[in-house]
């Protein structure tokens, strides 16, 4: 998900999106361990999405 799209979400929506993405990453890691992952690049994408969301949730200085 693009950062521009994430900036339009409220704090509550960001929190739920973070939980959803975290759950998806966990499930993908489990499938990877058992050798059933179809899209290995999705792991990187999810990790980056989580980082973007956490950056926007940070109450410090934002761009």
Q: Which long-range contacts (CB under 8 A, 24 or more apart) does 18-26 make?
A: 18/50, 18/53, 18/54, 18/57, 21/46, 21/49, 21/50, 21/53, 22/50, 25/50
Domains of the chain by start residue, with CATH? 3-57 (1.10.287.310)
pLDDT of residue 60: 73
Q: For 5-45, what is each residue's pLDDT tens digit?
A: 998 999 999 999 999 999 999 999 999 999 998 888 999 99
Check pLDDT > 60 for residue 63: no
Q: How far apart are CA 11 and CA 53, in angstroms?
A: 10
How far is the first Cα of the chain from the last one, in angstroms, to the nearest whole number? 17
Q: For 47-57, what is each residue's pLDDT tens digit?
A: 999 999 999 99
The answer to whether 52 and 17 have CB atoms below 8 angstroms apart is no
Q: How confident is the model at residue 61 (pLDDT cuts 50, 70, 90)?
A: low
């Amino acid at each position: 998900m693009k950062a521009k799209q994430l900036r339009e979400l409220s704090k509550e929506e960001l929190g739920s999106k973070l939980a959803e993405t975290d759950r998806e990453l966990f499930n993908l890691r489990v499938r990877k361990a058992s050798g059933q992952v179809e899209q290995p690049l999705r792991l990187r994408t999810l990790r980056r999405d989580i980082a973007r969301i956490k950056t926007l949730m940070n109450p410090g200085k934002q761009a």
